[in-house]
Amino acid sequence: MTPLSTRLTRSWNLRHPVLSAPMAFAAGGKLAAAVSRGGGLGLIGGGYGDPAWLEEQFEAAQGIPVGVGFITWSLRKSPSLLTDVLKHRPVAVMLSFGDPRPFVAEVRAAGARLICQCQNMEHVIDAVDVGADAVIAQGTEAGGHGALRGGFTFIPEAADYIRVNAPDTLLLAAGGIADGRGLAAALMLGADGVLMGTRLWASREALVNARHHEALIETDGDGTIRTRIADIARQIAWPTGFTARIRRNAFTNRWHGREDELERNVSVEGLRYRQAFADGDPENTGVWFGEAAGLIHSIEPAGTIVERTSAEALACLKRDA
């Protein structure tokens, strides 16, 4: 297959301009390795920081070059996690949702590339200021945590700023990208590649319960909501300005808009939430995917998804040339 060449593929020696999102609890070593074998770059999800789990996932990657991503404000509580992970020599470290400065020097010293995920222009300017190798412009369409900027305007605005102020910095687009049309659109808007979350959450290698996969297949693009209630139920204090996009279900119908009542009853409701998640119940817990659900109709191998996405994008770009 003719490769889709971009600044990302050329400078990072990839076949396809696709990175997998480091989705907490879903993006393990098996998924990251499958994406890397498929010609992209897979990222293990560091989540809220479980050192034993991270060790298991790097072992599961079986030596395939992968990266890792952290929730920055959570990493600040246990900075030794980064030190431990860097012993595995990840290709890249992605930092999201917080000031990356406390970790930049250590990432650089280990020889890893620094990726900063951004949700608004203030974040982009900050990422450029710390010298990020790649900036991710994450639109609100994305599953999991994010903010309010829509990708269709955010991506080109970030591209314009980077072109003037940090022309060697790469830009990746995230949020709602599930096929080659999305990748082609991102490239046309000024990105050098994409970070795919929901589409790879819906892969065979993802650490996702089969019932949650079934729920995604049954859900269209209208079937998600941005809300705080999953974090309230889990008793995780996320910084102001970030909410989570999850599937609309019995849990969201019951509690979205009744956040104060959920907080008062969290000792009971939190246990119910966690048990439902452990059971794979798709109705009474958070099911973590984004608006791209409406474009996904099957659970496939991650490598197949990456390769097809790139081929479709190349066909789109040739057709429109």
Q: State how beta strands 92-96 and 67-71 pair.
A: parallel
70 pLDDT above the threshold of 90: yes
- In this structure, what is the dihedral angle of CA atoms 149, 152, 155, 160, given to the nearest 10 degrees? -110
pLDDT band at 256, cuts 50/70/90?
Answer: very high
204 pLDDT above the threshold of 90: yes
Q: What is the pLDDT of residue 308?
A: 97
1 pLDDT above the threshold of 70: no
Mean pLDDT of all residues in 63-87? 96
Mean pLDDT of all residues in 119-141? 98
Query: Domains, the chain, ranges and CATH?
Result: 7-207+298-320 (3.20.20.70), 210-291 (no CATH)
pLDDT tens for each residue of 138-173: 999 999 999 999 999 999 999 999 999 999 999 999
Neighbours of 167 (CB within 10 A): 7
pLDDT band at 49, cuts 50/70/90?
Answer: confident
* Phi and psi, residue 12, nearest 5°: -105, 5
321 pLDDT above the threshold of 70: no
How confident is the prediction for the chain on average, in pLDDT? 97
320 pLDDT above the threshold of 70: no
pLDDT band at 131, cuts 50/70/90?
Answer: very high
Tokens (6 digits) for 305? 């998804």
Q: Of 131, 128, 304, which Cα lies nearest the Cα of 204?
A: 304
Q: What is the pLDDT of residue 257?
A: 97
* Prediction pTM value: 0.95
- Percent of the chain scoring above 90 in pLDDT: 98
Rounded CA-CA distance 175/132 in Å is 20
Rounded CA-CA distance 29/168 in Å is 30
2 pLDDT above the threshold of 80: no
Residue showing tokens 């070593």: 29
| Of 45-54, 84-93, 153-162, the least confident | 45-54
pLDDT tens for each residue of 267-286: 999 999 999 999 999 999 99
Q: Of 124, 111, 194, which Cα lies nearest the Cα of 166?
A: 124
Rounded CA-CA distance 103/175 in Å is 25
Q: What is the pLDDT of residue 276?
A: 98
Q: For every residue of 202-267, which 3-state class applies, written as one string?
A: CECCCCCCHHHHHHHHCCCCCCEEEECHHHHHHCCCCCCCCEEEEECCHHHHHHCCCHHHHHHCHH
